[in-house]
Amino acid sequence: MRNQFNRWISRWILGAVALSAGLGAWSCAGGAPALGHAAAAAKARAHAYHCSGGDGSSQVWRSTDGDRVETLRSDTDIPLRARSTSRLHLTETATLDQWGQLVSARVTASRPRAPVTAFVLEPRAQTVRLIRDGMATVEWRVPADAPWIYRPLSSADGLLASTPLAAWVAARAAGVAPVVRVLVPERQQSYLVPIDQLAIATSEGKTVVLESDGIDVGDDFVREVRLADRSVTLECVDLASDAAS
């Protein structure tokens, strides 16, 4: 099963690079300088990560184009709470600009006995939309005075959880500005936090603190996610590096 998964990831990576090259060629046909787009396509990079441990898992796909813009997608499946047989499933997408600031994100959460809920974050529009099955969409205005990150509630009873993707968004934001704006989408609350309270330097990178959870982050990506309220620790592996070894 692992070999099959790695082969699927390899095909996805090759497809992502081919798509980047194709978009570059299409732009050139429209009159843009051919050399610049070809160089940008050549520099495009794609990675896939598998994070697992205990009764949880998260798969993350991440690509970086020639302008250093990151696009990420993840699927996370974890227990609803410690020793629970119920599951929480989160699907996330996010785009970060070349400096590491969040451009957009969408987090879709599903769990038993709750409507499927999507949180759409748009920092440049200073807007968050809450979309729930069978309910009217709610819009929430948030200042764009600092890079945005998002976190779950303080317990495992909410719809969100700390994930590798959310931790990477926080880690990148911590390298951009002295403060970040932390969003708690479920409560429609936000507040400013100095980065020294968010990301703590370690000998191997930094530890990001999202509520009660600690996430170790290296230069390349997240290494370990400790979900305190769920008693789950996810260790992350770069599948390209793992396949090479």
**Same domain (yes/no): 131, 174:** yes
Q: Check whether 110 has a pLDDT greater than 80.
A: yes
On whether both 149 and 79 belong to a single domain, the answer is: yes
148-150 and 179-184 as β-strands: parallel, antiparallel, unpaired? parallel
Is 78 in the same domain as 182? Answer: yes
Q: Per-residue DSSP letters for 130-186?
A: EEETTS--EEEE---SS-EEE---SSTTSS----HHHHHHHHHHHTT-SEEEEEEGG
Range of the domain at 161: 45-244
Region 1-26: what's the mean pLDDT?
41
Q: Do both 188 and 91 map to the same domain? A: yes
Q: Are residues 162 and 227 in the same domain?
A: yes
Same domain, yes or no: 61 and 35: no
Residues 73, 193, single domain; the answer is yes
Q: pLDDT of 70-90, one tens digit each?
A: 999 999 999 988 888 899 999
Residues 96 and 30 in one domain: no
Give the count of domains, the chain.
2
Residues 205 and 110 in one domain: yes
26 and 106 housed in the same domain: no
Task: State which of 10, 28, 43 marks the end of a domain.
Answer: 43
What pLDDT score was predicted for residue 54? 85
Does 106 share its domain with 204?
A: yes
Q: Per residue in 189-210, pLDDT tens?
A: 999 999 999 999 998 899 999 9
User: Terminal CA-to-CA distance of the chain, rounded, Å?
Assistant: 18
User: How high is the pLDDT of residue 241?
Assistant: 59
Model pTM score: 0.81
